[in-house]
Chain A
Amino acid sequence: MAQTITGSEFGEVILKQPAVLADFYSETCVPCRQMMPVLEELESELGDRIKAVKIDVARSGDLADKYGVRAVPTFVLFKNGRETARIVGAVPKSQLTELVNSSRQ
Chain B
Amino acid sequence: MMDIMIIGGGPAGLSAAVYAARARLSFVVSEKGFAGGGAISSTERVDNYPGLLGISGYELGEKFREHAVKLGAEIVSSEAVGIKHFADGFSTLLANGDSISSKTVIYAAGTSRRRLEVDGGELPGVSYCATCDGAFYKHKTVAVIGGGDTALSEALYLSRIAARLYLIHRRAEFRANADLTEQVKSTSNIELVLNAQLKRVLGKASVSGVDITIGNRAEKLVVDGVFAAIGSTPNTKPLHGMADLDEHGYIVADENGKTSLGGFFAAGDVRAVSMRQVITACSDGARCVDSAEKYLHILPQ
Beta-carbon contacts under 8 Å, A34-76 to B: 34-35, 38, 57-58, 61, 64, 68, 70-73
Specify which of A33, A61, A71, A92 is in contact with B133 (CB 8 Å cutoff).
A71
Stretch at the interface among A8-16, A24-32, A97-105: A24-32
Check A35 against B34 for contact (C-beta < 8 Å): yes
* Chain A residues whose CB sits within 8 angstroms of the CB of B35 once the complex forms: 31, 34, 90
Q: How far is the CB of B76 from chain A (nearest CB, A)?
A: 12
Specify which of A28, A31, A70, A90 is in contact with B44 (CB 8 Å cutoff).
A28
**A1 at the binding interface (Cβ < 8 Å):** no
Across the two chains, which residue of chain A brings its CB closest to B207? A70
Check B124 against A30 for contact (C-beta < 8 Å): no
11 A-B pairs with CB atoms under 8 Å apart are A28-B44, A29-B135, A31-B34, A31-B129, A34-B36, A38-B34, A58-B138, A70-B125, A70-B225, A90-B34, A91-B34
**B53 at the binding interface (Cβ < 8 Å):** no
Tell me the A residues contacting B by CB distance below 8 Å.
26, 28-35, 38, 57-58, 61, 64, 68, 70-73, 90-93
Q: Report the Cα distance A35→B35, complex, angstroms.
A: 9
Check A68 against B34 for contact (C-beta < 8 Å): no
Kindly list 12 other residue pairs between chains A and B, CB separation below 8 angstroms, not including A29-B131, A31-B34, A72-B133: A26-B131, A28-B131, A28-B132, A29-B129, A30-B41, A30-B57, A58-B135, A61-B138, A68-B124, A70-B127, A72-B135, A91-B34
| Known A33-B58, A68-B124, A70-B125: A26·B34 in contact at CB below 8 Å | no
**B95 at the binding interface (Cβ < 8 Å):** yes
**B49 at the binding interface (Cβ < 8 Å):** no
Most buried by A among B44, B78, B136: B136
Q: Report the Cα distance A71→B207, complex, angstroms.
A: 12
**B89 at the binding interface (Cβ < 8 Å):** no
Most buried by B among A30, A91, A92: A30
Tally of chain B residues near chain A (CB < 8 A): 26
Q: How many A-B residue pairs have CB under 8 A?
A: 70
Q: Report the Cα distance A57→B41, complex, angstroms.
A: 20
Beta-carbon contacts under 8 Å, B121-155 to A: 124-125, 127, 129, 131-136, 138
Beta-carbon contacts under 8 Å, B203-217 to A: 205-206
* Chain B residues whose CB sits within 8 angstroms of the CB of A33 once the complex forms: 58
Check A71 against B131 for contact (C-beta < 8 Å): no
Specify which of B33, B37, B131, B205 is in contact with A68 (CB 8 Å cutoff).
B205
Q: Report the Cα distance A73→B135, complex, angstroms.
A: 12
Q: Which 3 A-B pairs have the closest CB atoms?
A: A90-B34, A29-B132, A70-B124
